[in-house]
Every structure is written in structure tokens, then in C-alpha cells.
Amino acid sequence: MTFAAPEPSVSNENEPEAQLVPLTSPAAGIPELITTSTQLDDYVAKLRAATGPVAVDAERASGYKYSQRAYLVQVRRNGAGTALIDPIALPDLSAISQATSEAVWILHAADQDLRCLAEVGMVPNKLFDTELAGRLLGYERVGLAAVVAQLLGLELAKEHSAADWSRRPLPESWLNYAALDVEVLIEVYDQMYAELQATNKLAWAEEEFEAIRLAPPPPPRTDPWLRTSGVHKVRDQRGLAIVRGLWYERDRIAQRRDITPSRVLTDKAIVSAAIARPKNLTELTKLPVFGGPRQRRGAGRWFRIIEKTYRLQPSELPTQKRQREGPPHQRYWKERDPQAFGRLTAARAVATQLSEKHHIPVENLMQPDALRRFCWEPPVAVLNDPAGEQAFAAAARMLRGLSVRSWQIDLLIPPILQAWSQKEAGAK
């Protein structure tokens, strides 16, 4: 997939670093919040008549709500201006996708917003992720404020990034902040696009963006309760059963009430109960984390869950051992399989060299898990003869199955195979 090239920007690297200019309000003022179909139709008509890429952002209420739905959507296109849209009042925004189907959508950290945008019918056909572009270009900091500062010399405030965007009405200062998130995103895109072209990384970036755009949702976590903060302090299976029981009850309540689970019961409270293993309700409420008025009111519910765990048979009790897929933890490689350890060491040395050469973080050259799997159990053709004609093709097939991109395979695998071949030759 290719993008229409914008006009490249010109910069002088020898110029002294200028003081940042605060970006305090949108040039055209804060747009009116779109909450009606008529308002949305008017803006969609402007989008359809305009040209060029489309800047898109979404605000959620992480830390306040159970769901990750969008509570505000921001859209900007040259010729159409900026729109702030309330997806609670207007849950179907598919008309925006239809009006901009031919355009590149610019998002920052797109994987965080694409799912909640899809829930309201907004799905791009072409994508440009400014955070990922910054990584591929070797920027030291890739947050939106840092990127805007580096490329445009503007200071972008981020004071409302963790706000409860489900709040209604939304304060004017929040709307101002939201509008600024897309105010200069098109200008950032213009400069990044030109820089990707100049560094011969545009094709790599396009492949990465398309992989993000088409990525399926992550599979459900196995035993998610094991991620409870502090669970490592629980040393016995009965205590772990309490953690598991309280975690699932908390999750059920949080989902029903659409609030973040920690607002129902904290991880600290769950672990405290699991360690103390109270024999009755009085003992539970004596724990400091259950002593407040709100938790005392719900203590009976929590103790009923705890009581159930006391009746579980030994075979029903959980452990902290997670089912591990793929290779063991790398700290065991040298002892369990010295040859695999040697392959991993050589592959990491190659990745480090390429990272420094191309100014790309190692983890963006290849997903660390994929690299470990490849080094632990490479295809037979690779093991038989890393320098052979079949080795690269076999390696490519395996890595494509692990969602490794073609550009990553082409860049990284030939020198890795060469390093492995030289290592084998030196050992003989």
C-alpha cells in the first residue's frame, strides 16, 4: 500500500534549538461538540468535499470505566476543520469512514484507539501511526507531545490525558485539550512522511501500519487473576483460591457496573484477604483494607466468596504456575540447550548492530518473542545448513507464521543465518 506524498519539509540541523512555543488553543477556536445527526451530516459533507489525510483521535475513560469505549472522537481534515464528536449521543459514526475511504488516517499510537473507533463504525482503509513512525525514525521520545516539540517546536499540554472522559457535560478546557490533539497531527505527518522517504524507511513503515490496521484483537488471557498485583506474596494454594475467587467476583461486578475493577476492590485488599485467610466476617473487617465504611458494607459478599474457597477439594485449588507456550525463560537456555543459547546470543548481536546502523529500537526490528522462538527451535533446514539455499525460505515461512513482517525478515534473517553458519564452521 502506498500513500500520496505530501510536500517535504525543509529543516536546518545546524540551527540552534529554539524555545518551544506553547500551543494553547486551536487556531479556529474550540469547535462545538457534535451531538446531533444534523451536525454530524454537516461535518461529513465537509469531509467529503475536502482532500488530504485525516487526523483522528479518541478519548476513553481508562481508570474509571470497565469498558474501553470511546467517549469523545476528534477528527480533522484540511478544508473541513476539526470536529469533536460525542459517540455516546451518536454511536454510529460509519459515515465518517465512508466520506474518507480514500484517505490516509493519521493516529498516534493507533493500536490503542482502533478498537474503540471500530465499535462506533470508524475503520480506516489506510493508516499512518505517528508513534510507530517515530520509533522507526529513531526518535528518543515518541509521545505525541515530544514528537510535536521535536518537529514543530510547539509545546503541547497533556494535562487531561488521564481524565474521566465519560463525564457529561465535558468541561471547555477538556474540549480545548482534545481539539489540540489533532490540531497539528497533519503537519507532523507531512514531516514524518518526508523523513521516512529520505531514510528509505517508508516501505518498512507502510508494512508496519498495515499490520496494525489488520491486527485481530488479542486472545483472552489465560488465568488473568494471576496478574493481581502482589499475588507473589501468597504462598499456599488455598490463599491462591481466595485471590482467584475474589478477582472473578470483582470482575463480574465491575463489568456489570461499567467501572474499573480497582474501584470495586483493590488488588491490595484481595491479596491481604488471601494472606490473612479470615475465619469469619469479623476477622475480615478487622483487616485495614476492609475497615472503611464502603468496604464494610460489601464485606459480607466478599466473605461468602472466601468461604466457598474453604470448601474446595485439593484437586480444585489453583497454583501460580502458568502454562507456558513456546520456549522456556531465557535464563534456563544455557543449561538446557547450549546450542540454542548460542544461536540466541549470535542473533541478538546481529540485531544490536542493525539497530545501531538503522537507528531503530531492537524490539522494532523483530518482536522479541518471535526471535526467541526462532532461535529455540528453528526449522530443520536451518539447523542442517544455515548457509544452505533452503534455510532462508524455511526461516521466512516460520517467521511469517509468527506475524513477523517481510521487511524484518529480509533485513535480519540473512545476517543471522550467516552468523550461525560462521559459528558452526568455527566450532568444527
pLDDT in tens, the chain (428 residues): 444 444 444 444 444 456 999 999 999 999 999 999 999 999 999 999 999 999 999 999 999 999 999 999 999 999 999 999 999 999 999 999 999 999 999 999 999 999 999 999 999 999 999 999 999 999 999 999 999 999 999 999 877 878 999 999 999 999 999 999 999 999 999 999 999 999 999 999 999 999 999 999 888 888 999 999 999 999 999 999 999 999 999 999 999 999 999 999 999 999 999 999 999 999 999 999 887 888 888 899 999 999 999 999 999 999 877 666 789 988 999 999 999 999 999 999 999 999 999 999 999 999 999 999 999 999 999 999 999 999 999 999 999 999 999 999 999 999 999 999 998 777 66
Q: Which domains does the chain have, with CATH numbers?
A: 21-214 (3.30.420.10), 224-316 (1.10.150.80), 330-427 (1.10.150.80)
Strands 81-85 and 72-77: antiparallel
| Residue environment code for 352-378, b if the CB has 16+ CB neighbours within 10 A, otherwise e | eebbeebebeeebbbbeebbbbbbbbb
What one-character DSSP code corresponds to residue 219?
A: P
| pTM score | 0.90
pLDDT of amino acid 428: 61
d(CA 127, CA 124): 6
What pLDDT does 296 receive?
A: 81
Structure confidence at residue 424 (pLDDT): 77
C-alpha cell at 174: 477538556
Q: How confident is the model at residue 260, as a pLDDT?
A: 96
pLDDT at 375: 98
Written as nine digits, the cell of 412 is 535480519
Angle at 209 between CA 203 and CA 210, to 5 degrees: 90
Query: What is the pLDDT, as a whole number, of residue 427?
Result: 66
The 10 Å CB-count burial string (b at 16+, else e) for 396-413 is bebbeeeebbebbbebbb
- pLDDT given at position 11: 44
SS (H, E, C) 301-330: HHHHHHHHHHCCCHHHCCCCCCCCCCCCCH
